[in-house]
């Protein structure tokens, strides 16, 4: 899974990227002219607890790849995204828009003033414009060739949406239509998370920026972080992080908060497998059937699926062991059609 980090110049993209991934990409004027890429292991205390119980050889967390797009040079700083960025973003499954909400006179905002809601609208306009250009080209070609069938109608509806200033993600499509437009990789169709980057001075203060109002009106998820502070926290040894968070009134580890928001936005969840060799968290979309969860591990397990033995992590921990969970009747036998739940510990029985 790939997530793109976007935002206007100096909004703190690379700072946030470093804080969340533990990477050491250069920030500020020393920032590179290339995109930064890092993979993070999704923090999951269930994996850690199960590891302590099973003592396997290995533990594997779910993984997400983040791409921090390079600063836009070609288009000047008035715009956030240049052609190189647009091309990278075609291949990501979701977008995180880092919105500048910190005040710092040494760091110039490309539009001079700090106005998070404006930046959100401007970013949205850029995403929609890039879709509109693709749509017009394609519709023009189809029109010239006299191909005014289903595809023409569908793309026309898409064009109408962006012409009206709405993101394609607001357009209700059937699963089939969804498939038909997938190849175009429309950016305004991708799930978008707003990440407000506040300064240290704003922690715990009410949002002065009308950003919450904007997010609500546009039905977008907003999370608030202080990038500079998060980066400091990320550089601390693990055991000091939690107490620092508490002291600063930052609440739950924001890395975890962030990852959960990304998971929610993408409609993802995790199930677990346990055993001698490995405790492993696997990422699947919500509403995944057991047979497809099996396929997420290996196609053989899917092909030879017999049944799944399932116990939810909560019940397992409450019982204390697999044997106890069995005794209490918490381990269920499920078939192919079973809808996997977040935190299910699953043992697949299969035969190939």
Ligand X SMILES: Nc1nc2c(ncn2[C@@H]2O[C@H](COP(=O)(O)OP(=O)(O)OP(=O)(O)O)[C@@H](O)[C@H]2O)c(=O)[nH]1
The reply on whether position 28 binds ligand X by CB under 6 A is yes
List the x/- string, 55-94, binding to ligand X by CB under 6 A: ----------------x-----------------------
Q: Which positions from 143 through 172 interact with ligand X, judged by CB under 6 A?
A: none
Query: Which one of ligand X, Mg ion, none interacts with residue 28, CB within 5 to 8 A by kind?
Result: ligand X
The reply on whether position 227 binds ligand X by CB under 6 A is yes
Q: Which residues of 56-91 are buried (b: 16+ CB within 10 A; e: fewer)?
A: beebebbebebbbbbbbeeeeeebbbbebbbebbee
DSSP lists the bridge partners of residue 95 as: 4, 192
Q: How far apart are CA 352 and CA 345, in angstroms?
A: 22
Which of 171, 128, 136 minimizes the C-alpha distance to 152?
Answer: 136
**Residue reference for tokens 């569908």:** 154
Q: How far apart are CA 239 and CA 265, in angstroms?
A: 29
Cβ proximity to ligand X: between 92 and 272 the closer is 92
Instruction: Compute the least distance from the CB of residue 103 to ligand X, in Å.
Output: 7
Q: How far apart are CA 51 and CA 279, in angstroms?
A: 6
| Segment interacting with Mg ion (CB under 5 A) among 7-15, 119-127, 258-266, 303-311 | 7-15
Cβ proximity to ligand X: between 7 and 116 the closer is 7
Candidate list 14, 72, 197, 254; residue touching Mg ion; CB under 5 A: 14
Structure tokens at 349: 């029985």
| Segment interacting with ligand X (CB under 6 A) among 26-34, 175-183, 275-283, 334-342 | 26-34
DSSP lists the bridge partners of residue 334 as: 308
Binding-site ranges for ligand X (CB under 6 A): 7, 9-15, 27-28, 31, 71, 102, 104, 107, 197, 199, 226-228
């Amino acid at each position: 899974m790939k997530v793109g980090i976007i935002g206007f110049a100096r909004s703190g993209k690379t700072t946030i990227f470093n804080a969340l991934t533990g990477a050491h990409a250069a920030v500020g004027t020393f920032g590179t002219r290339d995109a930064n890429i890092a993979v993070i292991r999704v923090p999951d205390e269930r994996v850690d607890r199960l590891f302590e119980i099973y003592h396997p050889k290995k533990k594997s967390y779910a993984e997400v790849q983040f791409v921090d797009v390079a600063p836009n040079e070609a288009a000047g700083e008035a715009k956030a995204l240049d052609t190189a960025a647009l091309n990278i973003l075609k291949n990501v499954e979701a977008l995180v828009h880092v919105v500048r909400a910190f005040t710092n006179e040494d760091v110039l905002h490309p539009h001079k003033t700090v106005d998070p809601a404006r930046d959100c609208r401007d970013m949205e306009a850029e995403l929609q414009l890039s879709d509109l250009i693709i749509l017009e080209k394609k519709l023009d070609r189809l029109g010239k060739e006299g191909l005014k069938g289903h595809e023409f109608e569908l793309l026309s509806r898409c064009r109408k949406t962006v012409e009206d200033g709405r993101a394609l993600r607001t357009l209700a499509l059937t699963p089939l239509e969804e498939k038909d437009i997938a190849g175009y990789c429309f950016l305004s169709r991708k799930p978008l998370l707003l990440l407000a980057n506040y300064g240290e001075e704003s922690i715990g203060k009410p949002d002065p920026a009308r950003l919450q109002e904007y997010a609500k009106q546009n039905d977008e998820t907003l999370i608030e972080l202080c990038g500079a502070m998060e980066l400091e926290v990320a550089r601390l040894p693990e055991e000091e992080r939690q107490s620092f968070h508490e002291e600063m009134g930052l609440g739950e580890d924001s890395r975890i908060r962030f990852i959960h928001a990304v998971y929610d936005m993408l409609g993802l969840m995790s199930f677990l497998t346990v055993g001698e060799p490995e405790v492993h968290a696997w990422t699947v979309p919500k509403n995944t059937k057991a047979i497809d969860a099996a396929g997420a591990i290996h196609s053989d397990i899917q092909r030879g699926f017999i049944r799944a033995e399932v116990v939810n992590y909560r019940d397992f921990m409450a019982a204390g062991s697999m044997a106890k969970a069995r005794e209490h009747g918490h381990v269920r036998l499920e078939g192919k059609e079973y809808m996997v739940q977040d935190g299910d510990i699953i043992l697949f029985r299969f035969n190939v």
